[in-house]
Amino acid sequence: MATAAKFVEKDCDAIDINLGCPQSIAKRGRYGSFLQDDWQLLHQIVSEMSKAVSIPITCKVRIFESVEKSVKYALMLQEAGCQLLTVHGRTREQKGPLTGIASWQHIKAIREAISIPMFANGNIQCLQDAQRCLDYTNVDGIMSAEGNLTNPAIFQGVNPVTWEMAFEYLDLVEKYPCPTSFIRGHLFKIFHKIFTFEKNNEERQLLATAQNLEDFKSVCIKIKDKYLLYHQGELKFDNNEGITRIAFDLILPPWLCQPYVRISPEEHTQKMERLSNKQNNNNGEKRASNDIDDEKISRKKMKKLRKIMRRPVKPDLEQHNRRNGEICFNNTCPNPLGGKCVYQLCKKCCKNKCYEEDLDCKGHRILVHTRREMAKKFALQKDKEVC
């Protein structure tokens, strides 16, 4: 970790260690909130990183059930060299449907115990929540995650029109390209309330299968066309459809950015029980699906089939083949060449060529030359420090 910190020191204003991720992948990789079980290791990591670089080392953590243990945890990180601490007021187990309410009491107790700057995270659904949290906990700043995704203007205290936020986001995507999965995820968050209604299933499906920037813009335009007259007041919107409540009982129509309000853990448990009962027939057996030959299909296979059905229809390969049937330019290789390969080779041959001749291929994302140059530069920098 200290070596990695040294590597990016000149490109960053600070380095934040995420010790709050509660996901299963973090457990398997032993990172995120699952490092909080090994205080000795964490102390060593933070201490070595803070000594290795001149920029601040900051940490984001979750709380323990015990206020006392949470305070001791924060003090340990402060003593190790953490220069700014962000505290998410939920335990590691509070995630997904079991998220529940964040404890500002824990955050307040930690704020009173440590002397370094501190941010609070949790229960921030609007600007008023941020101010209430500041007043109650006396922290130096607020961090928002889910609330910021569903309403990017949360800290301005406004609820902008969803498609305006979406178009602004897509302008940034055009300037700074990113994977389509990232784009799709952000737009689903922005339009989350609109997509809760069955009449918008078509737009939801179009977004789910969008493959390029134009597809995403098309979905935003469709949503704008559907709701613009309601927003302008030229059509009357049915008050019994598409409303939600946020702080202070403010009622918002679905075309405005708004917080995502999770159901309580108790409501989630009841919902799961109802679904379980619905999936069982009168004999207590799970319902089975059948194929056209009346053969039973397992639930796992049925789920896979539904997933395949949702995939976009791909054009005929003979009509649209980016390789145009060309073979790798290596005479001994029968593989088709990569459509974007700089050297008109298949990926395997391209990789061999790059390693042997110290080259890069942006088409295959093989950056042998670049990585070797970076390694030389880092080694030279390390030798100078030793001298």
pLDDT of residue 209: 92
Q: What is the pLDDT of residues 26-45, one digit of tens each?
A: 988 889 999 999 999 999 99
300 vs 187, higher pLDDT? 187
327 vs 164, higher pLDDT? 164
Residue carrying the six token digits 């813009």: 217
Q: Is 333 a catalytic residue?
A: no
Average pLDDT on 177-195 reads 94
**Residue whose C-alpha is closest to residue 213's, from 162, 175, 255:** 175
Rounded-to-integer distance, Cα 24 and Cα 28, Å? 6
Let me know if 191 is exposed, middle or buried by CB neighbors in 10 A (0-12, 13-18, 19+). Answer: buried
pLDDT of residue 238: 75
Rounded-to-integer distance, Cα 299 and Cα 296, Å? 9
Examine the pLDDT at 14 and tell me if it is beyond 60.
Answer: yes
pLDDT of residue 316: 46
Among 21, 59, 82, 257, the one annotated catalytic: 21
**What's the mean pLDDT when you consider all of the chain?**
86
Report residue 379's pLDDT band, with 50, 70 and 90 as the boundaries. confident
Least confident span in 92-101, 171-180, 205-214, 242-251: 242-251
What's the angle, vertex CA 129, arms to CA 121 and CA 162, rounded to 5? 95
Q: Name the packing angle between helices 180-190 and 213-231 (round to 10°).
A: 10
How many CB atoms neighbour CB 306 within 10 A?
10
Residue carrying the six token digits 């390693």: 355
Examine the pLDDT at 247 and tell me if it is beyond 50.
Answer: no
C-alpha distances out from residue 347 to 182, 328, 330, 339, 369, Å: 26, 9, 11, 10, 16
C-alpha distances out from residue 29 to 22, 23, 24, 33, 250, Å: 12, 10, 9, 11, 43
Examine the pLDDT at 268 and tell me if it is beyond 60.
Answer: yes
C-alpha distances out from residue 337 to 329, 334, 356, 362, Å: 7, 9, 19, 14
Examine the pLDDT at 260 and tell me if it is beyond 90.
Answer: no
Least confident span in 115-119, 223-227, 258-262: 258-262
Examine the pLDDT at 350 and tell me if it is beyond 60.
Answer: yes
CB 350 within 8 A of CB 330: no
Examine the pLDDT at 291 and tell me if it is beyond 60.
Answer: no
Structure tokens, 323 = 């390789």
**Residue whose C-alpha is closest to residue 13's, from 71, 55, 46, 73:** 55
Examine the pLDDT at 251 and tell me if it is beyond 90.
Answer: no
CATH numbers and ranges of domains, the chain: 2-144 (3.20.20.70), 162-252 (no CATH), 326-387 (no CATH)
pLDDT of residue 237: 83
High-pLDDT (> 70) share of the chain, %: 87
Q: What is the pLDDT of residues 112-132, one digit of tens each?
A: 999 999 999 999 999 999 999
Rounded-to-integer distance, Cα 201 and Cα 216, Å? 15
Q: What is the pTM of this model?
A: 0.68
